[in-house]
Amino acid sequence: MLRKDSCVCPNPCAITRYAKELSMVRMPSRAAARYLARKYNRSEAYIAENVLVLDIFFEALNYETVEQKKAYEVSELLGDIGGQMGLFIGASLLTILEILDYLCEVFLDRVLGYFWNRKRSQRPSSTHLLQEGLGSHGNQVPNLSLGSRTLSASHRTCYLVTRL
């Protein structure tokens, strides 16, 4: 016994269906039976038993075409999967690039800050130069403190700035 779900019969290419509607009426009427009996030279009883009036007509004047199509094509499936992968890979790639940009900014700031502080520490301080230069003339030089610039003063507050 075959189940309806297990049948994989395709729909036929073309099919014609005729809907039938049957109605009966006693034919012919007495006047029509007399007329036909005279015309065909038969009795009214013979005409009543053997004459048939057949009307064939369309029930509705429309034409219906039914097409069978796959609900989801393989190309549509691959397109949807590719679109989703592009969305997620693009989002993750953007995140990775933002993290790399942040790490580059931090690295450059640390390296440049280290070399900048190193150069500052190798040069004599401005107060020392002022004291040496003016001290040879015998003038009293006040103790000037220009302050050293530290790495924390050069830190940028936001590394995650997207450059356009």
User: Per-residue DSSP letters for 3-23?
Assistant: -TTT--PPPPS----------
* 10-residue averages of pLDDT along the chain (164 residues): 66 78 77 89 88 79 80 88 84 85 91 80 58 50 47 45 44
pLDDT of residue 103: 93
What's the pLDDT score for residue 150? 45
Q: What is the pLDDT of residue 50?
A: 87
Contact assessment for residue 151 and residue 117, using Cβ atoms and an 8 Å cutoff? yes
pLDDT at 102: 92
Q: What is the pTM of this model?
A: 0.28
* Closest by Cα among 138, 143, 152 to 125: 143
Closest to 151 (Cα-Cα) out of 112, 122, 125: 112
pLDDT at position 126: 52
Whole-angstrom distance, CA of residue 83 vs CA of residue 75: 12
